[in-house]
Amino acid sequence: MHEHFEKRRRERGDSFSDLRIEEFSMAKIKRPYVINGVSLWLTGDSEQEIADKYAEIKNSSRPSEPGRKSKYNFEEFAKNNWQYISQTVSRNTNLDYKRYMKNQILPHFGKMNVEDITWRDVQDFYDKYLDKAFSTVHKWRIVLSRLLQIAVGDGIIPIDPTKDKRLTHSKKRTQRAVPCTEQYKKFLNDIERLEHPHERLYMAIVGYTGLCRGEVLALRWADIRFNESILLVERSVDIQRTTKKCPGTIKSPKSEAGIRTVPIVEPLRELLLKDWHSGTYVVTNPKTGKPIHVESEFNTMWKHIRQQINLGPYTSHSYRHAMATTLLTSGVDIKTTQAIIGHSQPSTTLNIYSHALPGKIREAGLIFTEKMVI
C-alpha cells in the first residue's frame, strides 16, 4: 500500500502533506498520518474505521522493526506505565486510581492486549455497571483513558477508544439529600446547643458560608476580616485516608473559582467572636490545640455532633447545597451565588438548585396568572 501512495505522489508531483486518496474521496472523515516516514491520509465513515486501517497498515510494517513487541498485555502495560499517572495526581487520588484498577478495570481489560481494545470493549465495560451512577463510572473511565492515551503517545494505538462518540452510559445520578428551608433554619438554630466551641465553629462556618469541609478545616483566624465582615478562602485540606503519622496537607483549592471572598452574616460574626481562641486555625482539636487534619479526629468530632443534634441523613456538604439553594430562591443571581459557593461552572450551581425547581415553576405560574390573566 505504501508503494501505491508513493507512486501516485510522484506522478502528480504532490508533497507528502498534499497527498489525497481519490478512491476514498467520498468518505466522511479524513485523517493525516505518518507511517515509517511516509505521510498519508486515511479515510473512512468513522473514527474507528480509520483506526482499524491505521492498525492494519502499521502492524504490517512491524515485523521488520527489531526489538519491538507485537502485542502489549494491558495489565503489564498498566504496571509499566503507572508512574506517569501517579506523578501527576495527589497521593489520595493515586490511591483511588489504584483501587479502580484493581476492582473494576483489570478484571475486565487485564488479560486483553492494548492494541485489541475497541470502543465495543469499553461499551461492554460500561454495560456491566448500568446500576452505578454516571459520575462513578466516569472516574473509572478517566483512569482507563489516561493509560490508553499513553499508548497513543507511544504509537501503540492510533486513538483512545474511550473517546469514541458511540459510547453510551445510563446517566443515572445519585441525588444528594438537601434539607428544606425549615430543616435548614432548625439546623442553624441548633448550632448553639453544641457542647464544644470547635464543634460550634465548624458547624456555623459550614451553615452560614457554604464552605467545603476541607476549606473549613484549613481556615485560619487571619483569613477572617471582622472589620469588613468577610472571610477569605485561599486553601483547603484533604483528610481522606489520613493518619496521625501522615496528616492531610494544606493546598490551594481545586480551581481558581475556589479562591474567593465570602460574606460573614451577623449570627456567624457573633459566634466567631464568642468562641474565638488564640490558635492559628479556627477549628482545632481541644485536646492538642492542633488543627483537625486527620480523618479519625474529624470523625470523632462529627459523631459527637450527631449525638447532640438531629442531622438526619444530611452531611456537611448537604448544608453547602442548602445555602446555594437559599441564595438562588431568595433572588441572588446565579453568578454571585456561584462566586460565593466557589463553583467553576454555573451549571454546577444550577444542578444543585434543580431539586427546588418544581416549586419555583408553580410559583412562576401563579405570578404569570396574577399579571396576565384578567
Q: How far is CA 277 from CA 140, 205, 207, 353, in A?
A: 44, 15, 20, 36
**pLDDT tens column, 105-139:** 999 999 999 999 998 899 999 888 887 888 888 89
CA-based nearest residue to 20, from 29, 11, 30, 28: 30
Q: Which pLDDT score, from 0 to 100, does residue 20 have?
A: 41
What pLDDT is recorded for position 174? 53
Higher pLDDT, 300 or 33: 300
CATH 1.10.150.130 fits 74-163, yes or no: yes
Model confidence at 343, in pLDDT bands (50, 70, 90)?
confident
Tell me which of 232 and 65 has the higher pLDDT.
232
What would the DSSP string read from start to end of 37-85? Answer: TEEEEEEESSHHHHHHHHHHHHHHHGGGSTT--S--BHHHHHHHHHHHH
With residues binned 3-state (H G I as helix, E B as strand, rest as coil), the percentages for the chain, rounded to 5, are: 55, 10, 35
What average pLDDT does the structure give for the chain?
Answer: 81
This prediction has a pTM of 0.60
Is pLDDT at 94 greater than 80 in this prediction?
A: yes
3-class SS at 250? Answer: strand
Per-residue confidence (pLDDT) for residue 135, from 0 to 100: 80
Better-predicted residue by pLDDT, 23 or 337: 337
CA dist 187 and 320 (Å) reads 12
pLDDT at 298: 95
* 88/266: higher pLDDT: 266
Measured distance CA(219)–CA(261) in Å, rounded: 12
The residues facing 39 across adjacent strands are: 34
Q: Which of 57-66, 199-208, 350-359 has the lowest mean pLDDT?
A: 57-66
Q: How many CB atoms lie within 10 A of CB 104?
A: 20
Higher pLDDT, 211 or 347: 211
Dig out the grid coordinates for 69 from the structure.
513487541
Q: State whether residue 236 is helix, strand or coil.
A: strand
Contact predicate 219/204, CB 8 Å? no
Question: Average pLDDT, stretch 33-57?
Answer: 67
Residue 340's SS3 state is helix
% of the chain beyond a pLDDT of 70: 78
Partners of 35 in the beta sheet? 38
pLDDT of residue 355: 56
User: In angstroms, rounded to a whole number, what is the distance separating the alpha carbons of residues 43 and 50?
Assistant: 6
The secondary structure of residue 191, as a DSSP letter, is G
Average pLDDT for 75-90: 88
pLDDT digits (tens, 9 = 90+) for 136-168: 888 999 999 999 999 998 888 988 999 887 787
Nearest to 211 by CA among 276, 272, 264, 266: 264
pLDDT at 282: 97
Res 26: pLDDT: 44
User: What's the confidence (pLDDT) of residue 283?
Assistant: 97
Q: Which fold has domain 181-357?
A: hpI Integrase; Chain A (1.10.443)
The domain segmentation of the chain, as residue ranges, is 2-64, 74-163, 181-357
In terms of average pLDDT, the best of 12-16, 352-356, 360-364, 370-374 is 352-356
Of the candidates 42, 111, 49, the one whose C-alpha atom is nearest the C-alpha of residue 74 is 111
Share of the chain above pLDDT 90, in %: 41
Dist. CA 327–CA 181, nearest whole Å: 11
Rank 9-23, 292-306, 333-347, 352-366 by mean pLDDT and report only the highest.
292-306
Q: Which residue has the higher pLDDT, 226 or 57?
A: 226
Inter-residue contact 303 to 202 (CB < 8 Å) = no
Query: Residue 231: phi, psi to the nearest 5?
Result: -130, 150
- pLDDT, residue 306, reads 94
pLDDT digits 0-9 by tens, 241-283 = 888 888 888 988 877 888 999 999 999 999 999 999 999 999 9
Q: Does position 301 have pLDDT exceeding 90, yes or no?
A: yes
Q: Which residues pair with 250 in a beta bridge?
A: 237
273-296 pLDDT tens trace = 999 999 999 999 999 999 999 999
Dist CA 255 CA 211 (whole Å)? 14
pLDDT at 63: 42
Rg (CA), the chain: 28
Amino acid at 325: T
CA distances from residue 135 to 88, 142, 346, 360 in whole angstroms, order as listed: 21, 11, 18, 27
Average pLDDT over residues 226-233: 94
